[in-house]
Amino acid sequence: MAASAQGLARGQLRLRTAGLCCRRLSRGLYARVRRLPGPEVPGRSVAAASGPGAWGTDSYCLELLRKRDYEGYLCSLLLPAESRSSAFALRAFNVELAQVKDSISEKTIGLMRMQFWRKTVEDIYCDNPPHQPVAIELWKAVKRHNLTKRWLMNIIDEREKNLDDKAYRNIKELENYAENTQCSLLYLTLEILGIKDLHADHAASHIGKAQGIVTCLRATPYHVSRRKVFLPMDICMLHGVSQEDFLRRNQDKNVRDVIYDIASQAHLHLKHARSFHKSVPVKAFPAFLQTVSLEDFLKKIQRVDFDIFHPSLQQKNSLLPLYLYIQSWRKIY
């Protein structure tokens, strides 16, 4: 996939940045960003956990997100109040699955954990969730919004396939992985918001793929530290770059060209998603707030000339809550 074929010259990634506002940021977002009580005490029944006095399970999900998926945590805070707890549960479920791969020493253990979550989803749809905080909150979300079981299973199945430490053969394979994980997550978020719209689904598909590509790029330094490279092999071969070049943290032009081509594909997906802007219901826009962090990363990597190992790429943007709030207020994605 040559960069020129995409009509996108280096240094000309045109990415919108939400304009800064001189007024003081409303307390709305930061008022929600607070520490809540710890996880549920083991042994409580599902009935008790879903009652009015239940605080442990939802707090557990919120804290898990705050620590493991901070950007998703901030985006969820800006959803309508009636959808927020379900979004926390959904993203916490995704975090539980995502962290399996990095927390196991043997694939067999990972398969066992994936089987636990597969059975958990089956039990949730039989109104018999296990006594696990995320499972209980996900059960409530399913009951409340009648979430599609297939999307949950797609996430589990794809995460299970990804337990093999193999690089993506091509960019299409990476996009397929993103379709079954990040896109499924967005389809479920739209269901939580009560959105059933073809244009919203198309936008979600492109945003999810952009998210998957950006996540792969952002995780590259971490993977390299563990002697692993998962970047699409077809693009690496196109530029004559080997996995060893990444393991040595080579910063030659060819290595940067690989990163440029992959980042350009994420940019194209964002561009396609925004082409549906006028057709997507405004109520669906909160589900797409993650475009703010995607755009932020693509701008940062452009500024460092596509050096994937540049230290600035690993730093959190302290202004992200502000940008998210402005994007939410402007009702765009």
- Write the DSSP assignment of 298-321 as a string of letters: HHHHHHTTT-TT-GGGGS--TTHH
What's residue 53's pLDDT?
Answer: 37
Residue 273: which of 292, 301, 300 has the closest Cα? 292
**Whether the model pTM is above 0.85:** no
Going by pLDDT thresholds of 50, 70 and 90, the confidence category of residue 30 is very low
What's residue 39's pLDDT?
Answer: 35
Whole-number percent of the chain with pLDDT over 70: 83
* Domains observed in the chain: 55-164 (no CATH), 166-318 (1.10.600.10)
Q: Are 73 and 65 in contact (CB under 8 A)?
A: yes
Going by pLDDT thresholds of 50, 70 and 90, the confidence category of residue 260 is very high
| Residue 42: C-alpha distances to residues 24, 51, 193 (Å) | 43, 16, 31
Q: Are 32 and 328 in contact (CB under 8 A)?
A: no
Q: What is the rounded CA–CA span in Å between residue 216 and residue 176? A: 13
The token duo for 176 is 């397929």
HSE at residue 250, side-chain half, CA atoms within 13 A, is: 17
Average the pLDDT over 149-163 and give the result.
97
State the amino acid at position 197 in one-letter form.
D
Going by pLDDT thresholds of 50, 70 and 90, the confidence category of residue 22 is very low
Please enumerate in sequence order all residues whose Cβ is within 8 A of that of 146, keeping only pairs 6 or more positions apart, or say none. 191
Torsion of CA 267, 214, 286, 324, to 10 degrees: -90
- For 170-194, how does the pLDDT look when each residue is reduced to its tens digit (9 = 90+)? 999 999 999 999 999 999 999 999 9
Taking 60 as the threshold, does the pLDDT of residue 125 lie above it?
yes
What's residue 23's pLDDT?
Answer: 35
Going by pLDDT thresholds of 50, 70 and 90, the confidence category of residue 50 is very low
Angle between helices 81-98 and 70-77 (to 10 degrees): 170
Q: Which helix (H) or strand (E) holds 107?
A: helix 107-124
What's residue 44's pLDDT?
Answer: 38
Given 3-state DSSP classes, what are the helix, strand and coil percentages for the chain, each rounded to the nearest 5? 65, 0, 35
The token duo for 241 is 């770059």
Please enumerate in sequence order all residues whose Cβ is within 8 A of that of 144, keeping only pairs 6 or more positions apart, or say none. 86
